[in-house]
């Protein structure tokens, strides 16, 4: 009798466990395959990352539904120049990476012309999970790109230092100056650091560009002037450059120290931050994406790990500006030999869960509305709308952005005054 009871109990537990497993699977995925699981396929994805493990993980999850196929990610050398050739070649990729700056450049027009319309209702791709500011509609209203990662500009904050010094992360420029004074008094020579380079993760861009974008967003016609390289449009840079100048002059950041101790705008930034003595490190979201892997390779961080988070730089009097930019997007080659399964893969990918997982693994900002998967970016959730500048809010061309980068670098390094920079808009050397 006792054996019977045990057997019944075990059977019940097994059934319950199976039901529970199945239930949780359904709840977690929310994806149901459109085709038979024995469908054979071969999909190639090409991109700019030499290493794209987070996508490979997603592919593994896709294999759970379609095991009889193969999706291969390939890094293309000299992507800017080779993607066009690849797309026109005999081994054209099925999915390829697109970046916002490519739009409008004739060299890349084929990338958009050859792209499948993902917003086609027949495909059943749920683009609603993407934040509205990041959904990129073409002029005809079609969406041909899927944002995979978002990025932003701001700073990595060593939370342990703030806790140790009993300080709050500053929310506006006034607090920043005050906090920096306290940190300097506590022995932190340069409370803020960053890569003294004119690229997007560089000091000037990371700190001042979101404010510049805000000015552009609120500036009406000024965007057109900026895109047309109109010198008078340079006035839009005055406020952010002045704030940048104030930052440098305040002693919050020691530019010479940054130049000496940070070799480049990626690895150098991360490894210097991991030494553990920098309270705030200016950078971009792309830089943050490299932190997870380097935690293990940094001897300093391995020996003395600390908690860190990403915050927007508190450049404004009311607070910082959250630049909600797109890092990379995927487009589907509409001429793909495996178009159905490629679209099916995109349908699988386009969900809060899957995009969230990829972003979390890559440690970039998810393009979806749910920031909860990666606590490093927790500060960005519920950021005030009025100080958020989304991808769709401005349409600055790459040339205009480069002008600002050059101006910010010049001001940061004392190569020009704010006045000179504003006056030189459109003529600033960018190479």
Partner 1 sequence: MKRRYIIIINIVIVGLIFCIIVKYSNDRALESNQSSVASFEKMTTTTDQIIANYLEDEQHLCDIWSNYINGSAEAGNPMTVEEAISYIRKAKISPEISGHLIYIDDGSMLGISTSASTTDSSDYSVDYSHISIFENIEISNVSGAVNLTRAYTNPLNGVQSIAFLNNVKVLDVETAAIREALLIRVVPVSRLEQKLVFLKGEYENVEISIIDWDGDYMIHGKSLKNSNFFEYFKSYNPMSTQELNDVIDAIHNDVGSMHISNSKREDSIIAYTPLSGLDSWYLIAYIPANELTANRSIDWLLLLIVSIGLMVLLHFNLIILRGFNRKLAIAAEAANQANEAKSHFLSTMSHDIRTPMNAIIGMNEMILRDSHDKDILMYAESIRAAGNTLLGIINDILDFSKIEAGKMELIEVDYNFVSLLNDLVNMVQRKAEEKGLAFELQVDRNIPTMMHGDEIRIKQVITNILSNAVKYTKKGKIVFSISYSKCEDEQDYIILHVSVKDTGIGIKKEDLDKLFVAFERIDELKNRKIEGTGLGMAIAQSFLKMMDSTVQVESVYGEGSEFFFDLKQKVVKWDPVGEFETAYRRFVSEREEYKVSFVAPGARVLVVDDSEVNLKVFASLLNRTRMQIETADSGDACIELFKRNFYDVIFLDHMMPDKDGIETLREMKACIDTPNLKTPVICLTANAISGMREMYMEAGFDDYLTKPIDTGKLENMLLQYLPPNLIEDDSVTHSILVVNDDVTILRQIKEWLSPIYNVTVVKTEAQAAQYLKNHETDLILIGSDMHLENDFENNQIMRNNIDLTDKDEVITQVKKYFDK
Residue 404 to residue 398: CA distance in whole angstroms: 10
- Interface residue with partner 1 among 77, 249, 385, 431 (CB under 8 A) is 77
Min dist CB 44 to partner 1, Å, is: 9
- Interface residue with partner 1 among 25, 40, 72, 113 (CB under 8 A) is 72
Residue 377 is classified by DSSP as G
Token code pair at residue 156: 């990595």
- Interface residue with partner 1 among 37, 68, 82, 232 (CB under 8 A) is 82
Token code pair at residue 1: 């009798």
Token code pair at residue 138: 């073409």
Q: Per CB under 8 A, does 271 bind partner 1? A: no
Min dist CB 146 to partner 1, Å, is: 21
Min dist CB 366 to partner 1, Å, is: 21
- Interface residue with partner 1 among 29, 33, 48, 92 (CB under 8 A) is 92
Distance of CA 407 to CAs 128, 158, 235, 381, Å?
37, 29, 12, 31
Nearer to partner 1, 179 or 342 (CB): 342
Q: Residues 1-40 vs partner 1: string with x where CB under 8 A?
A: ----------------------------------------
- Interface residue with partner 1 among 29, 39, 48, 57 (CB under 8 A) is 57
Min dist CB 58 to partner 1, Å, is: 11
Residues counted in the chain? 431
Per DSSP, the residues of 8-34 read: HHHHHHHHHHHHHHHHHHHHHH----S
Q: Residues 222-261 vs partner 1: string with x where CB under 8 A?
A: ----------------------------------------
Q: Per CB under 8 A, does 97 bind partner 1? A: no
Min dist CB 88 to partner 1, Å, is: 4
Q: Per CB under 8 A, does 164 bind partner 1? A: no
Neighbours of 353 (CB within 10 A): 16
Q: How many residues bind partner 1 (CB under 8 A)?
A: 29
Residue 259 to residue 342: CA distance in whole angstroms: 45
**34 — phi, psi (to 5°)?**
-90, -30
Nearer to partner 1, 89 or 414 (CB): 89
Q: Per CB under 8 A, does 359 bind partner 1? A: no
Report whether 38 contacts 68 (CB < 8 A): yes
Nearer to partner 1, 243 or 363 (CB): 363
Q: Per CB under 8 A, does 60 bind partner 1? A: yes
Q: Per CB under 8 A, does 56 bind partner 1? A: yes
Residue 270 to residue 341: CA distance in whole angstroms: 38
Token code pair at residue 309: 């988070």
Min dist CB 7 to partner 1, Å, is: 17
- Interface residue with partner 1 among 76, 326, 332, 380 (CB under 8 A) is 76
Per DSSP, the residues of 211-279 read: HHHHHHHHTTTHHHHHHTT-GGGGGGGHHHHHHHHHHHHHTSB-HHHHHHH--SSSHHHHHHHTTS--S
Q: Per CB under 8 A, does 302 bind partner 1? A: no
- Interface residue with partner 1 among 32, 36, 50, 132 (CB under 8 A) is 50
Q: Which residues pair with 311 in a beta bridge?
A: 155
User: Which of the stretches 4-12, 86-94, 230-238, 355-363 binds partner 1 when contact is defined by CB under 8 A?
Assistant: 86-94
Nearer to partner 1, 77 or 249 (CB): 77
Min dist CB 53 to partner 1, Å, is: 6
Q: Per CB under 8 A, does 74 bind partner 1? A: yes
Q: Per CB under 8 A, does 181 bind partner 1? A: no
Q: Per CB under 8 A, does 106 bind partner 1? A: no
Residue 415 to residue 401: CA distance in whole angstroms: 19
- Interface residue with partner 1 among 24, 26, 51, 228 (CB under 8 A) is 51
Q: Which of residues 107-126 bind partner 1 (CB under 8 A)?
A: 110
Report whether 93 contacts 74 (CB < 8 A): yes
Residue 380: which residues within 8 A CB-CB, separation 6 or more?
152, 310, 312, 322, 365, 371
Q: Which helix or strand (DSSP H or E) is residue 5 part of?
A: helix 2-29
Residue 164: which residues within 8 A CB-CB, separation 6 or more?
none
Which residues in this chain contact partner 1 in the complex, by CB under 8 A? 46, 50-51, 53, 56-57, 60, 70, 72, 74-78, 80-93, 110
């Amino acid at each position: 009798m006792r054996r019977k009871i045990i057997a019944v109990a075990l059977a019940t537990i097994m059934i319950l466990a199976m039901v529970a497993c199945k239930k949780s699977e359904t709840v977690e995925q929310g994806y149901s395959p459109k085709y038979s699981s024995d469908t054979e396929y071969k999909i190639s994805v090409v991109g700019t990352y030499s290493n794209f493990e987070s996508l490979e993980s997603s592919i593994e999850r896709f294999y759970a539904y379609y095991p009889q196929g193969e999706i291969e990610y390939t890094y293309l050398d000299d992507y800017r120049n080779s993607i066009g050739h690849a797309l026109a070649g005999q081994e054209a990729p099925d999915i390829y990476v697109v970046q916002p700056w490519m739009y409008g450049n004739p060299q890349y027009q084929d990338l958009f012309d050859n792209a499948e319309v993902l917003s086609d209702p027949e495909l059943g791709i749920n683009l609603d999970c993407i934040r509205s500011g990041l959904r990129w509609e073409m002029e005809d209203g079609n969406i041909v790109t899927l944002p995979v990662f978002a990025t932003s500009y701001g700073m990595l904050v060593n939370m342990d230092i703030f806790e140790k010094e009993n300080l709050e992360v500053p929310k506006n420029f006034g607090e920043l100056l005050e906090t920096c004074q306290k940190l300097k008094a506590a022995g932190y020579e340069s409370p803020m650091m960053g890569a003294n380079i004119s690229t997007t993760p560089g000091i000037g861009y990371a700190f001042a560009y979101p404010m510049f974008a805000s000015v552009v967003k609120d500036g009406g016609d000024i965007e057109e002037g900026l895109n047309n390289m109109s010198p008078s449009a340079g006035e839009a840079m005055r406020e952010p450059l002045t704030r940048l100048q104030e930052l440098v002059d305040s002693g919050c950041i020691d530019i010479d120290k940054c130049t000496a101790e940070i070799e480049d705008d990626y690895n150098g930034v991360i490894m210097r931050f991991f030494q553990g003595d920098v309270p705030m490190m200016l950078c971009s979201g792309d830089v943050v994406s490299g932190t997870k892997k380097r935690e293990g390779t940094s001897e300093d961080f391995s020996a003395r790990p600390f908690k860190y988070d990403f915050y927007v730089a508190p450049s404004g009097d009311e607070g910082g500006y959250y630049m909600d930019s797109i890092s990379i997007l995927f487009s589907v080659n509409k001429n793909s030999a495996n178009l159905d399964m490629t679209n099916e893969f995109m349908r699988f990918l386009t969900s809060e869960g899957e995009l969230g997982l990829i972003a979390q693994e890559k440690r970039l900002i998810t393009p979806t509305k749910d920031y909860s998967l990666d606590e490093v970016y927790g500060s960005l959730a519920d950021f005030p709308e009025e100080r958020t500048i989304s991808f769709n809010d401005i349409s600055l061309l790459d040339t205009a952005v480069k002008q600002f980068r050059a101006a910010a670098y010049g001001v940061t390094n004392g190569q020009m005054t704010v006045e000179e920079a504003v006056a030189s808009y459109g003529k600033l050397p960018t190479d």
